[in-house]
Structure 1
């Protein structure tokens, strides 16, 4: 009896170990879902993201506005127009419509969806008050809820805890904290503008227009290096960029012709001067050195070519080779060894004995 119990215990242990091993193998064979990791999917991370207070409230309001548009009902053709008007009018501000909107609230939010659902619960009472008592007289839900009730946003053009007015930034920048209860109200200038109120031009820009309310800054000419310019064109540069030289007589920057001063190209190339730079292009194949493009601008003719009528022209042998190289290949030229050797009768006749 004792021996039987010992055998049963060992059998039960082996059965348990086998079951665990089989389960582990089965789990290992299950394919992993793409995009999922120990930290969760990208979608889950976006849902759980925490937005700043004003942005979060704005996302909730935008979702509610989408719900209003989604639940709009137009009049039907025919029937009693007065009855339709009365019925639709009552639905517009009804609790039924509010419930329809709230059921889908925040489902369209990508970033901060979880936070949006929490805010919907926190502000549920305020939203119901606005829906019943204020949506006709005060239709701007964002101002009513986010600015006045929750006090997490400011109207556009205001910033900070007390919603102080933003500076104008001369129309060339944005007030830091604009529309929120955050920020210091300083101007963040657009590219090309500088100054506390964005009322001056930045580096490498010049003043193209100014009046009492507007400033327009334009970029300096590409010839100008760091140091900027006094106006448009290369003549207004204070310092010249590489590839340009300051003209001591006329002032301003003059393009350097590297093709003359440096001769930067190889023997089988010719130089083309560009504004502030240069390019090296290949000579014609008939040339042994050249000063430009074409067989008439060769320094001398390459092997197999001779000078005729001011142009390097191929000799008879070279002309034939060039013609062969330039001739497009046809189907007749694409013959194989099998096509060139006629097949014998024995090779093409079927074997009737098979």
Structure 2
């Protein structure tokens, strides 16, 4: 109610009586600022729907308007007295009406029935803020709540005056603190920004005396020690090791795709086997793998049929030669795994 009434005062601040002779009106009728006309016009803004929607949203506006109108009827006499007699003496209407008269509110930074100060608020220090300005005080500004601080991410403590475990203080004094997040490779917190600020390194990093926590390249270690079962990574067929900060992942070689129960899900890189991606178009060569397979099958069928019906005549030899050329092309451009085992066996026994 108070805010909508103040909105009315603000809207009528530059208005006048409307007679055209402002000087005469103010001498005869008094200042418009403290006139009955302005009070009446300002009261028309009280509990208006558009102002109420801005305060609480559309879902609660009906309930708010009902309570607002009820309070306005009960308090119109008090508002009129403040407007004509106390406006200059007590310019803060919200404090005068809500806190002192109705005792339904507290000043910002205070809570509960007695308007106790929120943790971190120092009355004598204008720079101090509830919960060090890094959290919200439960019940702040109302006669309710227990005053406990709900801290922002990165801040802990009764007054939100300390940095969380994986954060460090950037700036700090008696009433203020600013924390920033530690480097990702740190374990047990840090004292400053970057790898050098780490107290210790988490798994996947190693401590360097000069540079601090540095990423371990598990893929390089695997390549340098292929005989070591502990160091060896990505051991499935057609897998390649990809180093990432603090860890590694196993991807499929180009032209292969992972098949499995969880393959393809975000963050899943190792479930299932790497199988040929017959739809891949990135490989060099005259034909993509799936087209090459179809051509091999068709020409192979033609060659076998020719051999069966025409024996060792020239057409049969020509057909087998074509099959051999295509098979060699596929083996050279699309890996041996593209050629069916039956085709390999046939070519093994048929070619000279």
* TM-score where L is the length of structure 2: 0.54
The structural deviation recorded for 1:132 is: 2.0
How many pairs are equivalent?
233
What is aligned with 2:79?
127
Residue 234 of structure 2 contacts residue 240 of structure 2 at CA under 8 Å; is this kept in 1? no
What is aligned with 1:188?
150
2:6 & 2:80 partners in 1: Cα distance? 14
RMSD: 4.0
Structure 2 unpaired stretches of 5+: 54-59, 122-130, 223-231, 256-282, 288-328, 330-352
Residue 238 of structure 1 contacts residue 252 of structure 1 at CA under 8 Å; is this kept in 2? no
1:77 & 1:125 partners in 2: Cα distance? 26
1:120 & 1:249 partners in 2: Cα distance? 71
Question: Which SS does the other structure have where 2:179 is aligned?
Answer: strand
Question: Which SS does the other structure have where 2:214 is aligned?
Answer: strand
Residue 73 of structure 1 contacts residue 88 of structure 1 at CA under 8 Å; is this kept in 2? no
The structural deviation recorded for 1:252 is: 5.4
What is aligned with 1:259?
219
1:157 & 1:88 partners in 2: Cα distance? 42
The structural deviation recorded for 1:277 is: 4.9
Q: How does 1:170-181 map to 2 (within 5 A)?
A: 170-181=132-143
* CA 87–205 in structure 1, closer or farther in 2 if over 3 Å, else same: farther
* CA 199–134 in structure 1, closer or farther in 2 if over 3 Å, else same: same
The structural deviation recorded for 1:62 is: 0.7
Residue 154 of structure 1 contacts residue 181 of structure 1 at CA under 8 Å; is this kept in 2? yes
Structure 1 unpaired stretches of 5+: 1-59, 285-300, 306-317, 319-354
* CA 303–185 in structure 1, closer or farther in 2 if over 3 Å, else same: closer
1:89 & 1:73 partners in 2: Cα distance? 15
- Structure 1 stretch 185-194 or stretch 267-276: which is displaced more? 267-276
- Which deviations, in whole Å up to 9, do the C-alpha atoms of 1:131-150 show, x marking residues without a partner? 22112222211011001100
Q: How does 1:133-282 map to 2 (within 5 A)?
A: 133-166=85-118, 167-168=120-121, 169-224=131-186, 227-238=188-199, 240-241=201-202, 244-247=204-207, 253-260=213-220, 261=222, 264=234, 273-277=243-247
